[in-house]
Amino acid sequence: MNEKKQFRAIKGTRDITPPDSALWNWFERTARDTFESFNFREIRLPIFEETSLFARSVGGETDIVSKEMYTFADRSSSATPEGAPADPGDLISLRPEATASTMRAYIEHGMHALPGNVKLYYIGPMFRRERPQKGRYRQFYQIGAEVLGSSDAPAIDAEVIEMLMLFFQRVGLTRTTLYINSIGDKNCRPAYVELLRAELQKVKEQLGADSQRRIDTNPLRVLDSKVPHEQEIIAKLPRIADHLCDACKENYAGLKRELALRGITYEENWRLVRGLDYYTRTTFEVIAEGLGSQNAVCGGGRYDGLVELLGGQPTKGIGFAIGSDRSILSIQESGNLPQLPGLDVFVAWMGMDTYPTAVKIARSLRDAGFDVELPAEEMKFKKLLNLADRLGARYALIIGSDEVASGTFTLKRLSDADQKKLNEANLLETLRSERRGTRA
Ligand code: HAM
């Protein structure tokens, strides 16, 4: 067969190509700057972990672990002969989220001994085998932050949310709604879950198959249901806010006070239970306009006890993860895009005698921090300017024999064809002051 196979990215994955990649870099840079200003520091984590780490933390019954993980047998164990099935203990999964890995790393590196709260952030791809659609991918990207320590003061929750909302504001993601809830803790939630289960049993026949199954596996998740005909039934179910123990009630009231202190507006949503098992007390989500059904751009909450569950010291924790794909999609759809620097200078050299000067000035401009395109081959003047234009350069730096002879350059601004003859020092100064102008 002569036919050549045309390779394509695997379903649910995609390439982020220029110029979108510049937007992604700016988005991630803004997150780093914002988070670091709150004294968060980056943690770089592996992309795969033992499957049982996710099963134990996210929960074996959750959709993420039971249906969506990319899991494979690893043959790391020298006891496994070639071709023999791997021991189940050797199963490895591509990470569907990174809170579990962060906890593993926290324990593995004895970070509980560090002074104060340990504040970490991460940026990177996650993998879930979901049905791809707008805003939902099988490889998607998160920017997450986690705070670990001995305190569960509501001020910590509020500061994490403040940081998140400040970041969204800085990237122009402003048409958002922040939802908050408290889902209680191990003292009050079990009784509420039993009450909910009993109430759900009474209306079981009116529910769809998924919700019926969840009455047994995880009744809280029924509250998450988007099935239209279930909404009226769910609205009448008992609400956790009415069943919180005193400590959880006080903690939730404290969170609302702390949010008010920071001027953060929110809506309470008693149905916000989240799809991962590790949460206690505070849960929150941010949804953005213009995204259709996949409109959650961030999810998070408190997970006291998770470190202990994974074999560490008793530790309190809270964090969130922003979905970068959806957030960037929302920014693009709003049209509220930042002015990102592009190609500064296109070096339009003419005649081989000008080429050495062109190479030298390209280096000087790059050293001075400008983005420069230097054509590798000789071209006609018209073609040079045409290419400079199509590449979106702000300036063409014209170098002909006259310029070389007089030690000057002709700097042409492409937006309005304004043209100046300058020596090297004046050229750098002109470009620098122009850059300061566009940044101001
Ligand atoms: P999550 O709600 O599963 O939470 O994911 C957080 C965000 O990741 C979602 O709000 C969404 O924006 C994005 N996301 C999730 N799945 C996809 C997908 N298939 N395609 C595109 N975007 C997606 C967590 O992952 C928790 N680890 C958050 C956390 C950190 N809680 C405490 N600390």
Is 345-439 a domain of CATH 3.40.50.800?
yes
Check if 297 has its Cβ closer than 6 Å to any atom of ligand 1. yes
Instruction: Please state, in angstroms and as integers, the Cα–Cα distance from residue 194 to each residue in 34, 79, 220, 282, 318, following that order.
Output: 42, 46, 10, 20, 26
Per CATH, 20-47+95-182+259-334 and 345-439 having the same topology is answered: no
Q: Which of 79, 180, 172, 120 is nearest to 307 (CA)?
A: 120
Q: What is the pLDDT of residue 371?
A: 97
Name the token pair of 250: 């006080």
Coarse DSSP helix, strand, coil percentages of the chain, rounded to the nearest 5 percent: 45, 20, 35
CA–chain centroid gap for 439, Å, is: 26
Q: Are the C-beta atoms of residues 294 and 195 closer than 8 Å to each other?
A: no
Q: What is the pLDDT of residue 435?
A: 82
Q: Are the C-beta atoms of residues 119 and 40 closer than 8 Å to each other?
A: yes
Q: What is the pLDDT of residue 16?
A: 98
DSSP-based three-state secondary structure for 7: coil
Check if 97 has its Cβ closer than 6 Å to any atom of ligand 1. yes
Instruction: Kindly calculate the radius of gyration of the chain based on its CA atoms and give it in whole angstroms.
Output: 28
Going from the Cα of 275 to the center of ligand 1, the distance in angstroms, rounded, reads: 9
Residues 6+ away with beta carbon under 8 Å from 416: none
Check if 137 has its Cβ closer than 6 Å to any atom of ligand 1. yes
51-58 and 99-108 helices, crossing angle to 10°: 110
Query: Which mutation among 326, 327, 330 tests ligand 1's pocket best, with the greatest number of atoms within 8 A of CB?
Result: 326
Query: Domains of the chain: which residue ranges?
Result: 20-47+95-182+259-334, 189-243, 345-439
Q: What is the pLDDT of residue 440?
A: 46
Q: Decide: residue 81, CB within 10 A, 0-12 exposed, 13-18 middle, 19+ buried.
A: exposed
Check if 420 has its Cβ closer than 6 Å to any atom of ligand 1. no
E strands in 128-273: 139-149, 176-182, 267-268
* Euclidean distance between CA atoms 256 and 352, whole angstroms: 70
E strands in 253-315: 267-268, 280-288, 296-302
Q: What is the pLDDT of residue 2?
A: 61
Q: Are the C-beta atoms of residues 182 and 241 closer than 8 Å to each other?
A: yes
Check if 325 has its Cβ closer than 6 Å to any atom of ligand 1. yes
Q: What is the pLDDT of residue 84?
A: 59
> Residue 80 carries which side chain, given as an amino acid letter?
T
Q: pTM for the full model?
A: 0.94
Q: What does the pLDDT look like over 364-392, one tens digit per residue?
A: 999 999 999 999 999 999 999 999 999 99
Q: Cis link prior to 238 (omega < 30° from 0)?
A: no
Q: Are the C-beta atoms of residues 319 and 160 closer than 8 Å to each other?
A: yes
Taking the alpha carbons at both ends of the chain, their separation in whole angstroms is 60
Residue 58 φ then ψ, to 5°: -75, -35
Q: Are the C-beta atoms of residues 432 and 368 closer than 8 Å to each other?
A: yes
CA 68, 72, 76, 79 torsion: positive or negative? positive
* Euclidean distance between CA atoms 319 and 283, whole angstroms: 10
Task: Tell me the fold of 20-47+95-182+259-334.
Answer: BirA Bifunctional Protein; domain 2 (3.30.930)
Q: What is the pLDDT of residue 125?
A: 98
Q: What is the pLDDT of residue 188?
A: 96
Q: Are the C-beta atoms of residues 283 and 181 closer than 8 Å to each other?
A: yes
Residues 6+ away with beta carbon under 8 Å from 91: 50, 51, 52, 71, 72, 73, 74
Check if 136 has its Cβ closer than 6 Å to any atom of ligand 1. yes
Query: Which mutation among 142, 148, 224 tests ligand 1's pocket best, with the greatest number of atoms within 8 A of CB?
Result: 142
DSSP character string of 64-93: HHHHS--EEE----TTS-TTSPPPGGGEEE
pLDDT tens digits for the chain (440 residues)?
567 899 999 999 999 999 999 999 999 999 999 999 999 999 999 999 999 999 999 999 899 999 999 999 987 555 555 555 556 568 999 999 999 999 999 999 999 999 999 999 999 999 999 999 999 999 999 999 999 999 999 999 999 999 999 999 999 999 999 999 999 999 999 999 999 999 999 999 999 999 999 999 889 999 989 899 999 999 999 999 999 999 999 999 999 999 999 999 999 999 999 989 999 999 999 999 888 889 999 999 999 999 999 999 999 999 999 999 999 999 999 998 999 989 999 999 999 999 999 999 999 999 999 999 999 999 999 999 999 999 999 999 999 999 999 999 999 999 999 999 999 999 999 999 988 776 54
